[in-house]
């Protein structure tokens, strides 16, 4: 399943929200270690390493509109499809 196919899906627990975009992401611009938690499994992600960035819409709060996930496996679990 390609990343684009997740567009428009609603993750469980996010009833009002839909996935606007999924992209492969890693940050090279950080001068200190930046960490986030995977929204699905809770693993710590070092944002310098490759991971998935999901933008949720519609919304105005940039802080909650972008979530990080480990990989496609966590993304698939998160949206509840097998
Ligand atoms: Zn994960």
Give CB contacts under 8 A, 24+ apart, made by 62-70. Answer: 67/39, 68/25, 68/36, 68/37, 68/38, 68/39, 69/38, 69/39, 69/40, 70/38, 70/40, 70/41, 70/43, 70/45
Residues, CB-to-ion distance under 5 Å, ligand 1: 38, 40-41, 43, 70, 74
Q: What's the pTM?
A: 0.83
Q: Distance from the CA of 45 to the center of ligand 1, in angstroms? A: 8
Q: Distance from the CA of 44 to the center of ligand 1, in angstroms? A: 8
Instruction: Report pLDDT for 79.
Output: 94
Domain count, the chain: 1
User: What is the extent of the structural domain holding 61?
Assistant: 3-79
CB count within 10 Å of CB 48 equals 14
Q: Would you write out the chain's pLDDT as a tens digit for each of its 82 residues? A: 789 999 999 998 888 889 999 999 887 766 677 889 999 999 999 988 899 999 998 866 655 688 999 999 999 999 998 6
Instruction: Report pLDDT for 38.
Output: 96
Instruction: Report pLDDT for 13.
Output: 83
Q: Distance from the CA of 32 to the center of ligand 1, in angstroms? A: 22
C-beta separation of 59 from 67 below 8 A: no
In the block, residue with structure tokens 């938690």:
37
Instruction: Report pLDDT for 63.
Output: 55
């Amino acid at each position: 399943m390609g990343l684009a196919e997740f567009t428009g899906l609603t993750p469980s627990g996010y009833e009002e929200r839909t996935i606007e975009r999924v992209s492969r992401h890693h940050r090279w611009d950080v001068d200190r270690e930046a960490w986030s938690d995977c929204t699905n499994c809770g693993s710590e992600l070092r944002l310098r390493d490759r991971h998935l960035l999901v933008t949720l819409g519609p919304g105005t709060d940039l802080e909650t509109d972008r979530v990080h996930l480990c990989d496609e496996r966590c993304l698939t679990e998160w949206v509840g499809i097998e």
